[in-house]
Amino acid sequence: MDWLERCVTDADRFLHTQWRRGPALLRPADPPTEVLGLADLDKLLDSGTLRVPYAGLFTMAGAVPEAAYCPPRVVAGRYLEGWLDAERVRALIRDEQATLQLRYVNHWYPPVRELAAGLARELDRLVEAFLFYSQPGRFGAVHRDDGDILVLQLSGAKHWKVYGGPTDGHWQPVREDDPGEVLLDTVVRPGEVLYVPNGYAHTAQATADGPSLHLTIVLREAGADHLRAELSSFLAEGLALPARPLGDDDLTATAAALLAHVHDRLDAADAPSLVHSARLHAYSSRPTA
């Protein structure tokens, strides 16, 4: 199955005319909305298997303390914490207008895992997925994410504002107090997909019509830290040195062997391969929120 085609309709056109050029509202002919719906979310909540850190709640005031929705359990004589209680979660959503976030859904929910894996193969990127169930309310904080995102609206509608991208390579995926002018101001409805390029600031709120359920698919991008980590791993490959050389001569010989190894590995290295490897391991320092 061509998952990218299902998300953007015309994959070739998207990659050649839209990718990294600006935000866009897409209306694919066959959006993959079947991967996770409201009924599936209810089943997950009622199953009793959701737990922190794969799930969490937050309001405009910040993250809801886990104790408010994760009462302790005793299993086989062991005292366990971090498991969601469905009724407490629903009460916080209803009474406190809390947003439920399911994190890294591709790790543990097979239909979303299949979608993410398909996109990863097609785009040669690390792909992660986050589910948001939110009530009508104020816009959240404007922030940037370290990756391109595809927002698949599953139920309800959400009002998005997307601002410009970073002005240099030193930006961070954090709250943005001065994002500049709005590039796209739109409402995303069921079956539609919002594309936000890497680093473009954005914010959203569920419309007054009712709750919103959407899946944020993050196409992670590599940064300098990922390149350094991959280079370090590449240079160390095949390296075998004595841990504690005996005497000055042995230590000097070991240093010479290390330099020769690094020199040979650098001769074998190339930038495209390093970027490819870094992109496959570009885990974020901050989960999408």
Measure the CA–CA gap between 131 and 154, rounded to whole angstroms. 10
The residue whose two tokens read 């209810």 is: 42
Tokens of 190: 């069921």
Residues 6+ apart with CB under 8 A from 44: 50, 102, 109
DSSP-based three-state secondary structure for 184? strand
* Digitized pLDDT (tens) for each residue of the chain, 289 residues in all: 799 999 998 999 999 999 999 999 999 999 999 999 999 999 999 999 999 999 999 998 889 999 999 999 999 999 989 999 999 999 999 999 999 999 999 999 999 999 999 999 999 999 999 999 999 987 788 999 989 999 999 999 999 999 998 888 888 888 888 888 999 999 999 999 999 999 999 999 999 889 999 999 999 999 999 999 999 999 999 999 888 999 899 999 999 999 999 999 999 999 999 999 999 898 876 655 4
The H-assigned helical ranges of the chain are 3-8, 11-13, 38-47, 86-96, 110-123, 224-236, 247-268, 271-280
Measure the CA–CA gap between 80 and 147, rounded to whole angstroms. 35
The pLDDT value recorded for residue 285 is: 63
The residue whose two tokens read 């005031």 is: 61
Using CA atoms, how far residue 157 sits from 36, 73, 103, 215, 225, in Å, is 16, 36, 20, 12, 37
Measure the CA–CA gap between 126 and 119, rounded to whole angstroms. 9
Using CA atoms, how far residue 68 sits from 77, 86, 91, in Å, is 23, 12, 10
Measure the CA–CA gap between 100 and 68, rounded to whole angstroms. 13
**Check whether domain 3-220 has CATH 2.60.40.1180, yes or no:** no
The H-assigned helical ranges of 67-128 are 86-96, 110-123
The pLDDT value recorded for residue 3 is: 96
In sign, the C-alpha dihedral spanning 82, 88, 93, 95 is: negative
Output the CA torsion 130→289→156→220 (10° steps). Answer: -50
The amino acid sitting at 62 is G
Domain ranges of the chain: 3-220, 224-280
pTM here is 0.90
Using CA atoms, how far residue 164 sits from 15, 66, 119, in Å, is 19, 35, 25
Measure the CA–CA gap between 78 and 45, rounded to whole angstroms. 22
Measure the CA–CA gap between 270 and 266, rounded to whole angstroms. 8
The pLDDT value recorded for residue 29 is: 95
